[in-house]
Each structure stands twice: as C-alpha cells, then as structure tokens.
Amino acid sequence: MALLTAELKEQIAKAGVCHLVTASKFGVPNAAPMGAYWVRENDTVWIANNFMNKTAANLKENPQVSFLVWNRDLGNCFQLKGTAVVEKGTDDFKIMKELLDAKKPGLPGKELVKITVKEVFTCMPGPNAGKKL
C-alpha cells in the first residue's frame, strides 16, 4: 500500500516550498527550503540540488531525512521520513534536469536527491499531532 495518497501528493505539489531536514553523522541538524522537487512513483520524492552546501554534506554522512510539507493555504501539515540517495549522470538525473528546466530554467541542478518515503506523520495541532498517518 502506498504511503503517499493522491491527496497527499496533490498537497505536496501545491505547497510550493517544503523543508528538507538532514543531520550530520554527529547529529548536527540542518533545515533548508526546497522549491525544485517532484513527487514520483513508489513513494519517492525527487529534489534538485541547486545550492545545497550543508545539506549535501549531511546527505553524504547520513541518508536519513525528513521532508516537511506545510503551507498556510493547504490546511494540512505533514512530515515525510525516509532515506535519501544522491545521483548524478543517471537516467533519473537526466529526467530531473528536464523537469527542472521546465519548472525553473537556469538553475544548475547539480545532483538529484531521491528520497524513499518510509513513514508519514501529521504535524497538525491537536490530539493527533505527531501521529503516523
């Protein structure tokens, strides 16, 4: 069963900017806004590495990530947790470059960050806050 329902995928697409949270091998956290991302099949989110510095360094040390989806207009807030791999020169990387050029021409798209979503949690306030969806 897919973790990312059609409704969640639609909300991710509408969010505009989401936050990718990483940590170094020593647990030093980093959160960075991401605008060049796409929800793909098999509970996967792709992100273009355009200007990642601390984030890219963290991903090399620790593949565990969180992707926070929230926008005031969404009426929802949720967190995707999973593992990331970084690719360059692969067929998927080439597809990402095409998607990036169509979405935001001129950005470098140095690498493709592929997140395999393992868990989804609500971030909405109330008695279910933090519960797995």
**Given pLDDT bands bounded at 50, 70 and 90, which one contains residue 63?**
very high
* pLDDT at 1 exceeding the cut of 80: no
Per CATH, which fold does 6-122 belong to?
Answer: Pnp Oxidase; Chain A (2.30.110)
**Given pLDDT bands bounded at 50, 70 and 90, which one contains residue 47?**
very high
pLDDT at 48: 98
Alpha carbon separation from 86 to 19, 63, 67, 93 (Å, rounded): 17, 9, 15, 9
Q: What does the mean pLDDT of the chain come to?
A: 96
The C-alpha atoms of residue 91 and residue 42 are separated, in whole angstroms, by 17
pLDDT at 56: 97
Mean pLDDT, range 7-31, rounded to an integer: 97
The residue extents of the domains of the chain are 6-122
Alpha carbon separation from 92 to 10, 79, 87, 95, 99 (Å, rounded): 22, 24, 8, 5, 10
* Residue 47 burial (10 A CB sphere; 0-12, 13-18, 19+): buried
* pLDDT at 53 exceeding the cut of 90: yes
- For tokens 């080439």, name the residue: 94
C-beta separation of 22 from 83 below 8 A: no
